[in-house]
Amino acid sequence: MYARERQRRILELLEGSGRVTVTDLAADFEVTTETVRRDLDQLAAERLLVRVHGGAVPPSTAEVEPDLDARRITNVEAKRRIARAAARLLPEDPRAAVMLDAGSTVGELVPHLSGRRGPVITHAPAIAQGALVHTDLEVHVLPGRVRPTTQAAVGAATVEAVRALHPELVVLGCNGLDAAGFTTPDPDEAAVKSAMVRCAARRVMLADSSKAGTRHLVAFATTAEIDALVTDADLPAELAAELEDAGIEVVTA
């Protein structure tokens, strides 16, 4: 197998799995680990992958995760439209418990909680503070270490607290979405999101179309685990069709 053919195969494997290792590639191609390292170094020089210890990951997994303040001023109008559309998916019973993930798009949903009287549960202090404006709500803040980038509580205490709860609805955000599911860069953040997905009766994802086709380091939900996606009109039609085929209700704001 020539080098370019081998490198094309490496990129195909990387797209499918999200990570490749030097030892596995050497065994698959029946070449030395030094040959694989040269292949990876060449692909990295062409910015087609990012080298990590023992292998490589796609470029998207190595991007710097924007902090919450930066995301609050990005795609603001689209996020507000998404939140207005998502408000129609809130439980009909105003006393039903709603869990809110951290994130700028989910944060735009807070003004639409007016008139509700049930528990609102979140691991994001900023979202809890915003929800306190609506004095009829019972606002619950989950424990844990507050991660500076997202200003959200993460860690074992957060995951354990989530697992003990059973809200009617959880509203989530993500950093990337594709036909396989939903991803985020940070493992601790992903663990909390996964626990939220598994504890709720209904799971709604809010994501503007800039997240489409992007895959980050950690998957926290498959398409089978999400009931609805609220997004904007620029979501690629092919991806929207794939998500609907997987059973997700795609709501366009």
Instruction: Scan for tokens 């490198």, then name that residue.
Output: 7
Distance between CA 158 and CA 169 in Å, rounded? Answer: 18
Half-sphere exposure of 43 (CA within 13 A, CB side): 28
Fold for 3-62, please state it: Arc Repressor Mutant, subunit A (1.10.10)
pLDDT given for residue 59 in this prediction: 76
68-252 CATH: 3.40.50.1360
Amino acid residing at 131: A
pLDDT given for residue 176 in this prediction: 93
Strands (E), the chain: 20-21, 50-52, 55-57, 98-100, 119-122, 138-141, 145-147, 152-154, 169-173, 176-178, 181-184, 202-206, 218-222, 228-231, 249-252
Q: Give the model's confidence band at 250: pLDDT under 50 very low, under 70 low, under 90 confident, else very high.
A: very high
pLDDT given for residue 160 in this prediction: 98
**Numbered ranges of CATH 3.40.50.1360 in the chain:** 68-252
More confident residue, 5 or 50: 5
Q: What is the mean pLDDT of residues 139-150?
A: 95
Q: What rounded mean pLDDT belongs to the chain?
A: 92
**Numbered ranges of CATH 1.10.10.10 in the chain:** 3-62
Residue 46: which residues within 8 A CB-CB, separation 6 or more?
A: none
Residue of 195, 90, 97 lying closest to 139 (CA atoms): 97
Summarize pLDDT for 65-76 with one digit per residue, the tens: 667 776 776 778
Say if residue 158's pLDDT is above 70.
yes
- 3-class secondary structure, 153: strand
Whole-model pTM: value is 0.76
Summarize pLDDT for 96-134 with one digit per residue, the tens: 999 999 999 999 999 999 999 999 999 999 999 999 998
Say if residue 202's pLDDT is above 80.
yes
